[in-house]
Copies of this chain bind each other. A is one copy, B any other.
Amino acid sequence: MRVLVVEDFEVMARSIANGLRREGMAVDVVLDGNDALEHLVATRYDVVVLDRDLPGLHGDDVCRRIATDGRESRVLMLTAADTVKDRVDGLGLGADDYLSKPFDFSELVARIRALGRRSNRPLQPILECGDVSVDSNRRIAFRSGCRLELSAKEFAVLECLLSSKERVVLSDELLERGWDEFVDPYTTTVKTTIRRLRIKLGDPPIIHTVREGGYRIGEL
């Protein structure tokens, strides 16, 4: 899952980003609204975590812009205020969810996950294919009832493949959805991650290679 954190207080921004990365998300950070808009036209994010009180371009404006442009991303608005009026305002601007500071980190994660599920078309909280299943919320994966111990990247790739179940997913697409903006586009890390994933998934093989492009998960 690809997340953009927009928060001007750098310490907070970093802390959120690192926390989310530990949860296996690919996180980019920007410190102001204009930067946010630039990133949003360049990259497809599943979820934008948006501080409402930004210097310069206000969070509300960013939110409105995201809502007007054909929205690809879900917006989770962060704010210091917490009156019902604020919450309704936020949702009215096109935010998809709302969280007031101070917040509990596990709740932030839960809400981002819930939003992320909606942005992926087949919006199933539990993704399945054959005897392989992942629970995005709990970040656990199974094969024929057996729990798999997956690393963050392995999980991200598996999740991505499953969310496009049976469809071919290009390596570039995996890279885009599972890694942050600083990744070398010629990296071989997807190849390596797929390999590790295959080993952990065991037999019979369920991740298929499509020459000249990418991978597909499916029983045949």
Contacts and interface: CB of A to CB of B under 8 A. Distances in A.
A91 B114 contact: yes
Range of interface residues on A (Cβ < 8 Å):
35 or more
Contacts of A106: 84, 88
B139 A114 contact: no
A124 B210 contact: no
Contacts of A84: 104, 106-107
A118 B97 CA distance: 11
A137 B211 contact: no
A200 interface: no
Nearest to A208: B139
13 contacts: A67-B126, A70-B122, A74-B118, A84-B104, A87-B104, A88-B104, A88-B107, A91-B113, A121-B121, A137-B166, A139-B168, A147-B220, A152-B213
